Structures are given as structure tokens and as C-alpha cells.
Chains A and B, each alone.
Chain A
Amino acid sequence: MGKDKPSDNNKEALGRRELLKLGGIGLGTGLIGNAFGQSGQKAAAHQQVSQWPGAFDPQETHPPYPPRDRPKPGEKIHVHDIEVTIGLHEIVPGVQTHMFMFNKSYPGPEIRVKEGDWVQVNLKNTSPEFHTIHWHGIMVPMEMDGVPLGTQWPVAPNQEFRYLWRAQPAGTHFYHCHVMTTLHQQAGLVGSLIVEPKEPDIVQKTFPYKREYTMILSELDTNFVRNMMSEMVEMGVQMERMNHSAKMMREMNGKMMGWFKSKEEFVKAVKNGYIPPYLAARTGTAMPITPNYFMINGKSYPMTDPLMIRRGENIRVRLIAGGFMPHFIHLHGHDFWHVCQDGSPLATPVRMNTIPIYPGTTSDIVIQGTNPGFWHLHDHSDLATTNNGQHPGGMMTMLMYEDAREAGVKWEEVIAISS
């Protein structure tokens, strides 16, 4: 796959000691195998304990390219400008909410690059809050990882930050703000990041497809977002004003923001009167987050976009868990193939009709046009198929056959009867 990838002979050269060292990891891997690999499971049952399924390569998680490389003269760099603002987003008609936005859209613009390409993202922050971008699943150099106060200073209002990294590994990934993630990601700062493989795509080879869809799954507590955004905006407005007063610049230091260099400094501040937010929430109350809208690409049913297919066609669907809740996506009338997890192809595709998507993960599935009609695709955790508690709504869309009529589906009659 990548130029630094070790040869297949390496795995054969692994000694017994190395295999034993991997035993702990192997337990977890085995569980995943149980969940996702039916044929692998059967094969494992007939093999010795010290042996792994044939496709296993212990160095497969190594970055294809050294992450700390710099672009060499002549290498192409894809440049993306991303601006963070605050705007209004309509989830369904009549329900608007203030959101943080990448380039005035929610979700943010999809970034799609080839594996091994250099990517430069110029982040411009014109909102009153701090932001970063974390490249979720990408093997970036540490300084580009977007963790505020961990790997970089957060990007302040009216500041810019330039991210530069190499697109690796291939697969379905996403990006999100990592500042106060509970709010910022929920309040809109998330987007898809697709790294197309440099080598021929195994999914494309196995299931030739022309159309693909990306579905970012997320949820929102409109009360939490409203209250916390208001608090954050308030603080941002104060900080902007602080810039014009030396006295306030001294007053509004990192400690006021809850930033401490060490545990000792934090403990000392508490003794000196600092009240941690868990004792006195900025909003006055610390209510648990209770999402009331569940979205696919920022929209709740019936405003979600359908997936279009024709008989005999394969479509690839990239599912991205861009929120904080697990979802269980079920397709009516079909089985589908789970082909990739967190960007990487599975050892073998797995046949399913309901796929769990846990926060932070991505799953690619291939749907085959085998049963013409109009089919529901939805989260089977039924709370997520509501809008503000009312069903139907939420994380629901349709798989629609464009040639259903030709296949004899008399959908007009169904609608007429239903109506």
C-alpha cells in the first residue's frame, strides 16, 4: 500500500516471543473478529492458538509515510481554506439553532484527497470563540493534531492557523474542532475527510460502484447548545473587549478560563478561591445533555436526503459517527456488506442488515440494488427517530430505486392507499 510498508515476509519472520507479546492485543482483536469477521471466526477455530488468520500483518497500523516528513520541492499540496463562523442552521422547518460552522455550512465541507497527498488547511477563526481542527483518524505529526493546550494553542478569534499533513491512511475519516468538544462538535464543527487509496480500491474492485454517499450521524441538545453557546459567546465578547484594556488583560488570564499548567496549580487555585465549573456551572445549572434532534448530514427526517440506487447497482455509503451517541443503522428489505471500519478494509466483508456505529468510528457499507422499491434506512435505537420527542423524525432516510416503476413497484397505489 505505502512505500514504507514492510514485506509480507516480515510476518512470517515473527518469532514465538513476539506473538506472545501480542497476546493482549490479540484478545481484543479476536473480539472484533467475532463481531465483524464471520469467515475469519471459522478459520480461527480450526487454527492453533499461536497462529493468526492469514491476512494479519502486525505492522499494518504503521503510517505508510513518516508522519514527520515535510513536503519536498515539487510535491503537490492541496490547499483548503476553512473559516469558522457562527450562523443559523435549520434542522427541520421551524427549528433553527445557532451553530458554529465550517465555511458557513453544517456539516463542514467534505475534504477528499488521495493517499500520500499533502494537505494544507488554512483555518481562519472569525467567531468569538477558540477553535482547532482535529484530523480524526489521520496519522499527522503531533503538532498538527489539533488538541488545544496539548499540541497547539487554540486558535483565537480573528487568528489563523495553518495545518499541514500528509493524507494517510486511506479511508473514511472526519475532522472536528477539539476545543470543548462536547459543545463545539455537537454545535456543528464536524466534516467528512475522505482519503482515497493510492492503490486500486479493494472495495471498488470487489463491488464496482459509481455512486457513493457520505452520512455524518450526529445529535443535538438544542437547550444545551443554546445555553453553552451563549455562555461561550459571552466570554468571547469579553475577551475581545479585553484586548483594549491592559487591566482586563491582566485579569482575564488562563486561570479564569480554567486553564492550569499542572494539577498542583489547579489545587492551589481552588484554595485561593477558584470555583471549578463542576461545582458552579457557568450556566447556573449542570443539566445532563439530552439530545432532542438526531441528524444525518445536519438534517432530521423528513429533511434528510435519500440514497438513490438502481437495480443491479452497488452504492457505497460512508457512515461517520460525528456525534456522541451510538447509532444502529438498519436498512429495510436488504442485507448489505460492511466493508471498511475506521477507514481500513475489513479482513473480509461482513453481511449485515443493522450496523452499530459508535462515537468516533466510521463504517463503510455497500448496498446492492437487489430489491426494488422505497426502503427505510434509520437508526434502530428508536429515540433517534424522533424530532423533539415526536416520531417519525430524526436519523431516518430512504433508499429509493430510481427504476422502481420499471420493476413493477406501483408506488402511487401504495401512497393512495396510505393516504
Chain B
Amino acid sequence: MKIQINRIGILAAGALTAASQAQTQQNPVQQISLQPQIEIAGSGLATLDFGREGMFGGRGIGSRSQINFSDSSLSFGVAQRMYRGAIGSFTLGGIAIDEANNGHGKQIFMHQAFADFQELRFEGYIGRTNTPTAQIVAFPTIREDDLVDYTSVLNPFSNGANPEEHRYSNVAGAVFNSGLHHFVNVHAQHQIDSAGVGQSDTGLNSVGISFQYEGNPALTTIDRFPSFGFGVESRAVNKSFGGTSNVFYGGGVLNLQPGLVDKLDLRLLGQVSFGNDTNTLTTLNDTYRADQESIALSLRKLYSPFGKPASQIALTTGMKRYSKVPNANSYGVALSYGKSLGQGFDFVSQIGYERRSSAMTSAFGGHSDAMVLQFGLSFNFGSTFNQSIGPRRSPTNLLHQYIPN
């Protein structure tokens, strides 16, 4: 949970540092020492969990309680202005995952490793980063993959051991924008195929297009509709596993009570997937690729005395049904609370419950319901060194003439 709204955006690279040049192949264009802007951003999140039973997308099945530091991440980015005003960047980062079933406990998952080129109207990026389907709306649960069955467009190739596979993938994307407000993202992906249900192991197994509207960041708490979007994705699941799984998805944020001090907002994500013929749910992967309709809703109250976020409470719910599997449906709910103890440093707590119908229990180790109570601390930070570039969508750039600095 990030109470602080202004989380740093990793801009990334353009040129490699001397140290990294020594370890990687030579820059094919020019090899000189550079002083790019360097950004370090991190999120430390540690909770004490009680009563986990296959909660939140099957993660941690079999564990009743644990000390959980998944979703902690550290990212490093370098960015530099290009010769004619564009910005080039490179970002590298890892995130702690909760893979309790493999016997090794926590592991680090590389969730960011991408190069990015951006100018006023165009952005192109290649590498491992957030899957475009995960960028439409973020939910205010403690971890971004809590209630992942409803709050994310699921990866039909995942085996379920690592929920990060629903949020991150290998992407080649081209983003065109109008006024830095309306974005069209055309992309091809290799979604991580841990279940082995794709056409090949490393090929492009997913293509899609999405549209997103982003309002002025200065008015995130004031605009009635600060952001919304929708998209379509076609995923090439092998025929022997039911065939192609397509999905339509759409969502956004609605400020029910806009305000600088007291704000109430509603987040929504709806999705319909179709085309796959899976009709029984015996593994977690079955639940990701089978035809389904789901909706996630979250109501969040943010309190910001004197204009600074101090606390928030959110109720997030999700519901799902499978259209080709009889009596297969589920729902989940999470009540989350966060209180700021300092800049970027929050106390967090959450109670979650998830219920699944009988047709789903075999995929979840026989558990029809699960509940978890969590307490913990989170620290989100970002620091910039050698600063020379500002945010692309700063209020100044949006309201006045854009300059690439």
C-alpha cells in the first residue's frame, strides 16, 4: 500500500555506466564515459501474516502463518537526454516473491529490465517490465498482487507459483499519445510460460492494444475521472490446453468525493476472457486460462490533513465466474488500512477473505475458503542523482509548452 501518491517514476537509461560497460558488450555506437541521471527507487514491505490458506491466487498454499516480505523491490534506472530532445533510459530491478512451495522460500524475481526511448508524441520500450494489461488501474491492497484473481488480467501461461507472473512480462511496446493525456499502446509480449501451455517457450505469445487516459497529475484527487482505460489481448495458448485465450478488459478510477483533505474514490476493473475451451479446473493454471468474467471494485477513503496523505482505508472486493465450467465461481474481499508514520513510511494492516465454489477447490489444494490477517510496515522511496531530466508528465509540461528536460 502506498499512501504517498507521488511515487518516483523510474525513467531509465540511454547509456550504460563505465562499470556496466565492463561487464557487458561494448556500446555499438559510441563508447564514452557519461554522467546520466541515476534513479534508485525501492519499496520495502514486510508483514506478519496469520492464517494463510491459499489466499490471493494460490500463493503460499499450505502455510498458515509467515513473515512475509514479498513485493519488496529495488529498482535502478539511468536516463539521459538524447541529441535532439528525446530521452533514453534503462531500468533494472528486482522484486521479492513469495514462492513458498519450492522449498527455498523467498526469491528475487527480476521485474524490470527494459530500455526506453521517449519523445513528446512517442515512446518505445523493450524488455521486462509491467505487462501493459496491468497499467489500467492499481488497487489499494497492501500488495499489488493481493486478490490478484480479480485485480489483474491473469497470465494464462502461469503455473500460479509466482503471482508476479501476472503483473510482469517481456514486452516490446510502442506508445503513441495525444497531449500526453491519451495513450495508445500497441505491444507484443512473451508472458512467462511457467506452466508450459504456450506455443513455444520463448516466442511472442501475446499481442494486444490498449487505450488509456491519464489526467493532469495535479488533479488526481480532484478530477472526477483522473484515469481510465481499456484494451484487448490475444494469448496463444496451445490447442491441447484449450486454445487461444483472448481477453477484453477495462477499468479506471472515479473520485466519488474529490478533495484535497478528504477524498473517496472508487476503482473498477472488469474483464471478460473467451476462446479457451478449458472446462475443468484442476490446476491453478486452469483457473487462469479458462473462459471467465470477473470484476474488481475498491472503495478507498484517503485522509490528507494539510494536504499531505496521512491515512487511508480501503475495501476491495472481487467476483469471478467461469462460463464453461459448471458451478465455478469465487469472490474475495480485503479491508486494508495504512497510516503514514513519516515520508514514505507507513504502518499497514489488512484482513482478507476469499471463497471458492466446489468446482475450484481442487485447483486450490482442497481449500474452499481462506483468510489472512496481516500487520506490517512499508517504506517507499525514490532518490535521483545527477538530476537533469524531469517527469515527462509534469503539470508544467502538460499546461505549458513541453520540453524534454
* A237 and B403 contacting across the interface, CB-CB below 8 Å: no
**Which residues of B lie under 8 Å from residue A88 when comparing CB positions?**
400-401, 403
C-alpha gap A241/B6 in the complex (Å): 20
**Which residues of B lie under 8 Å from residue A256 when comparing CB positions?**
260-261, 306-307
* B382 and A284 contacting across the interface, CB-CB below 8 Å: yes
* B258 and A237 contacting across the interface, CB-CB below 8 Å: no
* A226 and B306 contacting across the interface, CB-CB below 8 Å: no
C-alpha gap A48/B163 in the complex (Å): 90
Chain-B contact segment, one of A64-72, A140-148, A246-254, A347-355: A246-254
B222 in the interface, Cβ–Cβ < 8 Å? yes
B14 vs chain A, min Cβ distance (A): 16
Q: A222-B405, A241-B222 are in contact. Are A273 and B400 (CB under 8 A)?
A: no
Q: A247-B259, A256-B306, A273-B306 are in contact. Are A285 and B383 (CB under 8 A)?
A: yes
A223 in the interface, Cβ–Cβ < 8 Å? yes
C-alpha gap A251/B121 in the complex (Å): 37
Chain B positions 350-405 with a Cβ under 8 Å from a chain A Cβ: 382-384, 387-388, 390-391, 394-396, 399-401, 403, 405
Chain A positions 76-120 with a Cβ under 8 Å from a chain B Cβ: 86-88, 95-98
B216 in the interface, Cβ–Cβ < 8 Å? yes
A117 vs chain B, min Cβ distance (A): 36
Minimal Cβ-Cβ distance residue in A for B261: A251
Minimal Cβ-Cβ distance residue in B for A252: B260
B18 in the interface, Cβ–Cβ < 8 Å? no
C-alpha gap A366/B146 in the complex (Å): 73
* A237 and B218 contacting across the interface, CB-CB below 8 Å: yes
B305 in the interface, Cβ–Cβ < 8 Å? yes
Q: A98-B400, A226-B405 are in contact. Are A274 and B305 (CB under 8 A)?
A: yes
Per-residue interface assignment for chain A, residues 226 to 248, with 1 indicating a CB less than 8 Å from any chain B CB and 0 otherwise:
11011001110110011001011
**Which residues of A lie under 8 Å from residue B396 when comparing CB positions?**
86, 98, 226, 229-230, 233
A280 in the interface, Cβ–Cβ < 8 Å? yes
B196 in the interface, Cβ–Cβ < 8 Å? no
* B310 and A238 contacting across the interface, CB-CB below 8 Å: no
Minimal Cβ-Cβ distance residue in A for B218: A234
C-alpha gap A113/B114 in the complex (Å): 60
**Which residues of B lie under 8 Å from residue A242 when comparing CB positions?**
260
* B306 and A237 contacting across the interface, CB-CB below 8 Å: no
A128 in the interface, Cβ–Cβ < 8 Å? yes
* B259 and A273 contacting across the interface, CB-CB below 8 Å: no
A255 in the interface, Cβ–Cβ < 8 Å? yes
* A241 and B400 contacting across the interface, CB-CB below 8 Å: no
* A251 and B260 contacting across the interface, CB-CB below 8 Å: yes
Interface residue ranges, A against B (CB under 8 Å): 86-88, 95-98, 128, 222-223, 226-227, 229-230, 233-235, 237-238, 241-242, 245, 247-248, 251-252, 255-256, 269, 272-275, 280, 284-285
A-B contact pairs, 7 of them (CB 8 A): A86-B400, A96-B405, A229-B396, A237-B218, A247-B259, A251-B262, A273-B310
6 closest pairs, A vs B, by CB? A234-B218, A251-B261, A237-B218, A230-B394, A233-B395, A223-B387
| Further 12 A-B residue pairs, CB within 8 A, beyond A97-B405, A230-B390, A274-B306 | A87-B400, A87-B401, A88-B403, A226-B396, A229-B396, A233-B396, A248-B222, A252-B260, A273-B305, A280-B308, A280-B343, A284-B6
